Amino acid sequence: MTQPNVRVRFAPSPTGPLHVGGLRSALFNWLFARHHGGTFILRIEDTDRKRYDPEALSDLLENLRWLGLDWDEGPEVDGDYGPYFQSERLDLYQKYARDLVESGHAYYCFCSPERLARLRQEQQQRKESILGYDRHCRGLDPAEAADRVAAGEAHVVRLKMPLDGQTTFHDLIRGDITVDNSTQDDLILLKSDGYPTYHLANVVDDHLMRITHILRADEWISTAPRHVQLYRALGWEMPAIAHLPVVLDPSGKGKMSKRKKLGPGGREFPVHVRDFRAAGYLPEAMFNFLALVGWSYDDHTELMTREEIIERFSIERITPAPAAFNYDKLDHMNGVYIRGLAADDLADRLMPFLERAGFATDRETVKRIVPLIQERMKRLDEAPGLVDFFFVEELPDYDPALLIPKKLDASGAHVLLGQARGVLAEVSPFTQETLETALRGLAEAMGVKTGQLFTPVRVAVCGRRVAPPLFGTLEVLGRERVLKRIDLALEKLKAIER
RNA sequence: GCCCCCAUCGUCUAGAGGACCAGGACAUCACCCUUUCAAGGUGGAGACAGGGGUUCGAAUCCCCUUGGGGGCACCA
């Protein structure tokens, strides 16, 4: 059953590069909207002037588009409920803040940040069970307070929370959640610089933008009761709400770090979406994987197309439990998607990675190499390390001992490699098929195992033992370079013979 | 410290009282395939945090304990 009038939003704060956790929230909102044929809105919550990062917006838009999350209303597309930047809606928030003060639901507070800091410190020292604002200004005479405001005294606007009783709200994922009002303090709605806090801006905009469902991160649960009271104070109906489970770091301990990459075991884990891109994760793999962080379809289906996920997505199947971000599984899934790519497509996607590695490459060559490495990659950034020897004229120095296969010595390897050189000089055409036939024939003729013959050849042309399949490699390399490298290898072997 | 949320293999999860001596996936181990490495195939090990209830019957419902997470800003 779909509800086409569904309106959801992703409302990030442009304070830094987009984080995977944020992307997951965006994805779930987008999926919910697309599933219902509703509207997905992008709203920029740029109300924190201190943490504002001018580069964050382009990073955000670029990375949402990378994953294929298009928005129906928001930056660069506009819509009927704009503006979509909160910094352009200041008069609105100020108006509602004023209304709330006038209706007695909010009050002016003149406490200085210093006083609040001291208060907090004292509360902590005294190990008070309830921390938070002590409502010092709540009892001020409204007329007097208004005069002080008119006189230009610095102030904020705070919401009057009920002093007793309870607040309950219904979370679509967790059911009813109830808290005692005595544990809640009077949150700030309007800061002294005239900007709204998240709480006010969020509620005002969700209402004005006709948001029907709020899907936001877990960490907002604790403020939800105060949001409920804010809606009540404004006389508005609150949208349906669901709190998505947080994304934990790979160890499963602690929320995924926002700023630094963490690396248990020495490994560096990307957390910013742009870093996932740079590591060579495919957007389609990322999309599929991220959909499964906190949501599942059934007991066995994991690989799904974008369309299938849209079709199957539902809030009912979101788990309430926090989920660790499993990089191993992402890698695996990315490998599956890489293997599923058409060779041309993969070649195109590989180009930037090879260019960045400094290889003088061309698309045609890359297309020929792709079949050799396609099933050997989990991430695109592994490609350069796999194919470096294709893009140099001369191999970097390597240990001659690598040329010697099992059960042979240097002179034995020398003989085999010499014979192989003879064959490789003659084979025509110089293709994978003919090369394989010829070299296998040689191994048989010489009475050695194929591995014993192929190992020295592989090392001679690649400079290492672990490499892509030999015959295809030889073909792409071409006869000239192959023979040159073998000659060099023969010299190396000669030098260690005795 | 206080409030809130959560709790099935190492990790992600299926499970909405009997179909479960708990299924799938990643990782891991063994074997097969094989020119190395992969990929692929087969098989193995591996979990209902603990304790009380409710019930003829509990992974599934309730309570307590424990553990984990989140929050307690003029940040979102």
If you measure CA to C1', which residue is closest to nucleotide B75? A48
Residue A68 forms part of a structural domain: no
pLDDT at position A107: 96
What is the spatial order of strands in the sheet that A166-171 belongs to? A175-180, A166-171, A240-244, A213-217
Asked if residue A108 and residue A137 are part of one domain, the reply reads: yes
Note if A258 is an active site residue. yes
Asked if residue A240 and residue A93 are part of one domain, the reply reads: yes
Sequence-ordered strand ranges (E) for A98-187: 106-109, 156-159, 166-171, 175-180
- Closest nucleotide (C1' vs CA) to A124 is B1
- Tokens for A413, please give them: 């390897």
Asked if residue A284 and residue A176 are part of one domain, the reply reads: no
pLDDT at position A60: 97
pLDDT at position A2: 81
- Closest nucleotide (C1' vs CA) to A182 is B3
| A253 CA from B55 C1′ (Å) | 37
Asked if residue A283 and residue A204 are part of one domain, the reply reads: no
Asked if residue A135 and residue A234 are part of one domain, the reply reads: yes
Residue A379 forms part of a structural domain: yes
Asked if residue A103 and residue A177 are part of one domain, the reply reads: yes
Asked if residue A236 and residue A104 are part of one domain, the reply reads: yes
| Measured distance CA(A491)–CA(A480) in Å, rounded | 17
Candidate list A95, A258, A261, A329, residue with the active-site label: A258
The CATH number given to whatever domain includes residue A477 is 1.10.10.350
DSSP letter string, A212-264: -EEEEEGGGGGGHHHHHHHHHHHT-PPPEEEEEPPEEPTTSSSBPPSSS---G
DSSP letter, residue A19: B
Which residues form the domain of A279?
Answer: 261-383
- Closest nucleotide (C1' vs CA) to A473 is B35
| A132 CA from B72 C1′ (Å) | 7
Asked if residue A478 and residue A453 are part of one domain, the reply reads: yes
pLDDT at position A264: 47
Residue A9 forms part of a structural domain: no
Choose among A207, A196, A114: nearest CA to A158. Answer: A196
The CATH number given to whatever domain includes residue A115 is 3.40.50.620
pLDDT at position A252: 67
| A155 CA from B44 C1′ (Å) | 68
Domains identified in chain A, total number = 3
pLDDT at position A131: 80
Residue A80 forms part of a structural domain: no
**Protein-covered nucleotides on strand B (Cβ within 7 A):** 1-8, 10-15, 23-27, 34-40, 68-76
Choose among A203, A223, A106, A110: nearest CA to A159. Answer: A106
pLDDT at position A495: 87
Asked if residue A216 and residue A189 are part of one domain, the reply reads: yes
pLDDT at position A260: 47
Binned average pLDDT, 10 residues per bin, chain A of 498 residues = 90 94 96 97 95 95 98 96 95 97 96 91 82 91 95 96 93 93 94 96 97 95 96 96 88 65 64 95 97 94 96 95 92 97 96 94 94 97 95 90 87 92 93 95 92 95 96 96 95 84
Query: What is the number of other CB atoms lying within 10 angstroms of the CB of residue A422?
Result: 12
Asked if residue A283 and residue A225 are part of one domain, the reply reads: no
Residue A134 forms part of a structural domain: yes
Asked if residue A218 and residue A118 are part of one domain, the reply reads: yes
Asked if residue A307 and residue A188 are part of one domain, the reply reads: no
